[in-house]
Amino acid sequence: MHLGRTRTLLASLCLIALAIGTFSAQAQSPLSAYTQQQTEFLPVDEAYELSVIGTTERGALLQWLIAPDYYLYRHAFAAKARTSSQDIEVALSIPDGLAKTDEFFGDVEVYYGALDASVELAESAELIELSITYQGCADAGLCYPPETKTFLWHTASGEVQKGKLSPTVLDTNAPQDSGDGEDFGLIAALVFALLGGVILNIMPCVFPILSLKALSFTRGDAQSHRRSSLVYSAGVIVSFVGMAAVLIAIQQTGKLIGWGFQLQNTGFVIGLAYLFTLMGLSLNGLLHFGTSMMNVGQSLTEKDGDAGSFFTGILAVVVASPCTAPFMGSALGYALTQPIYITLLVFASLGLGMALPMVILSYSDAAVKVLPKPGPWMDTAKNVLAFPLYLTSVWLLWVAGNQSGVNTMAMALSGLVLLAMAAYLYGETPVRKAVTALLVIAAVLLAIPQSGSRDGGTGARKLSEGQVAYSAATLASYREAGKPVFVDVTADWCITCLANEAAVLFTPEIEAAFLAADLPYMIADWTDYDADIGEFVKSHGRSGIPLYVMYPRGTGSDPVILPQLLTRDIVLSAIEKAQ
């Protein structure tokens, strides 16, 4: 396998432009499961049916019936027992499970099909409340929050029924159960979404935008900073909820789109490149009428300041859409099985988490004191921050060229030149305004994608030794023959995909490992919309990428979904186990 110089250079430019921090380890796909049908995954009680099938004076036998393609974690089991006045020590015995490399928790023991376990009480009582906690996931990628079921156990008769000791019976000093599994699931989903949103702030997609926003807090009064952060937060939350609503609406039409779907539209990509370029020109002092949109530079009116803050929140969400963060997958996976209003609530929590650091920065006197005092360094900082934006525009235009051909990229570059000319000529006289308007219109027309096709088969990528283009028929033939195969669902606009390819997948060691194992490397390039690839992504409970699926040797073997952020050891271990 060979990684072309052009792809390496472009991936490096992208990483240099945006990676001003390290990626957090990915636990699961953030927004990936969300856009599937609400009935795609089973409710937790149907996926895992727990019952008490036998009792003695101090012991009980538990049984879980596990739906096909779902599994339970050994490490997640817990048991508690209590009477009306005290807790009772209880031992839970679980047999050994199957070894599995799980995308959420790493190397774990799991159970498929059915599981029998037993509990043993240290002492007996007439009436006992027995609480059993467990957690499971689906092979397709959905991980449920921990679930707790509570039973009332009449030890004398051996009768067991679902329920709890009533509050009038419970000791007032004993801890109370906060609610059923559904209540816990919603709370956990909201907390996980909040944490995932916070982590999004350190993703390289978002950092340049937030740097500019934080820069504005170095001048002005605290009250305006706080107002600005709240308006920014409103822009973030409204954008997340709005994008979720759009995804629901489009998904209901049957189109298999994913998170970041807007970047599959060449016109949108070119427009975003234009925007980043204008922002860079503004920071370099070459463009003045657009500075209010980023809320930097000269003093602004209150209206302009609010508009700039709200727009910055929207822009942060748009550029964050190709990125993913830990905790988001569990939260949005739970939201997938709930009514739409709960789903939107979880997305709002995600937006709140993303906006929270900016709010804390504006309201915390200690945080504000950490910021350097205003001075000449601000002009230098603004000028330096412009160059990552220019490099981002280069990357976006490269994506547009891969999507619609080099002619489209050349026309878009010409449009950027006209935009720069419009910025240079802009003035207060009617003639200058008219010329500027004509140049802007011409630039917009040049941004329209040209007719043309991408080079190189499925996607624009020229395949190297050991690589094959994705097709459902080819994958099915490998599976029917029982051969192992690795499927990489990627896209030129996917930041995490480019990072994994440059740092892990396309390194000589990993390429040699695939060749030595005679394990086909199948590339599904989703830079452009492709319904077949969308169906493959959906079949694994995802809508976002990257998606890495390893099919082990053997007919009917269960696929293994690798984490979204790869390391050398993860991939080498997957290759070894696939044999």
- Global confidence as pTM: 0.54
**Sheet hosting strand 48-55, strand order edge to edge:** 48-55, 59-66, 114-121, 90-93
Q: Report the share of the chain in percent with pLDDT over 70.
A: 72
Both 340 and 226 in a single domain? yes
207-215 and 377-404 helices, crossing angle to 10°: 150
Both 229 and 357 in a single domain? yes
Res 521: pLDDT: 94
Res 25: pLDDT: 36
Residue 481 contacts by C-beta under 8 Å, 6 or more apart in sequence?
Answer: 555
Euclidean distance between CA atoms 451 and 266, whole angstroms: 11
The answer to whether position 246 is within a domain reads yes
What CATH number should be reported for the domain holding residue 97?
2.60.40.1250
The answer to whether position 429 is within a domain reads no
Res 329: pLDDT: 57
Res 207: pLDDT: 67
Both 148 and 219 in a single domain? no
**Does residue 19 have a pLDDT over 60?**
no
The answer to whether position 54 is within a domain reads yes
Both 172 and 228 in a single domain? no
pLDDT in tens, 156-199: 777 787 877 644 333 333 333 333 334 446 787 788 888 888 88
Both 358 and 316 in a single domain? yes
The answer to whether position 385 is within a domain reads no
**Does residue 346 have a pLDDT over 80?**
yes
**Does residue 81 have a pLDDT over 60?**
yes
Euclidean distance between CA atoms 278 and 123, whole angstroms: 73
Domain end call among 177, 205, 233: 177
**Which of 461-487 are b and which e, b meaning 16 or more Cβ less than 10 Å from the residue's Cβ?**
bebeebbbebeeeebeebbeeebbbbb
Both 132 and 206 in a single domain? no
Both 316 and 196 in a single domain? yes
Contact 378, 215 (CB under 8 A): yes
- Which residue segment(s) compose the domain that 541 sits in? 467-578
The answer to whether position 32 is within a domain reads no
Both 243 and 322 in a single domain? yes
Domain end call among 374, 404, 435: 374
Tell me the pLDDT band of 209, cut-offs 50, 70 and 90: low
Number of domains making up the chain: 3
Query: Which residues is 187 bridged to in the sheet?
Result: none
* Better-predicted residue by pLDDT, 119 or 361: 119
Contact 145, 120 (CB under 8 A): no
Contact 54, 61 (CB under 8 A): yes
Domain end call among 177, 210, 236: 177
Euclidean distance between CA atoms 258 and 36, whole angstroms: 9
Both 81 and 149 in a single domain? yes
Tell me the pLDDT band of 33, cut-offs 50, 70 and 90: very low
Span of 174-178, 341-345, 422-426, 570-574 with lowest mean pLDDT? 174-178
pLDDT in tens, 289-332: 443 334 433 333 234 467 778 888 888 887 776 566 556 655 66
DSSP string across 51-87:
EEEEE-SSEEEEEEEE-TTEEEESTT-EEEEE-SS-E
Res 445: pLDDT: 85
Both 169 and 199 in a single domain? no
Query: Which residues is 120 bridged to in the sheet?
Result: 59, 91
Both 513 and 554 in a single domain? yes
**Does residue 546 have a cis bond before it (omega within 30 degrees)?**
yes
Burial level of 139, CB count in 10 A (0-12/13-18/19+)? middle
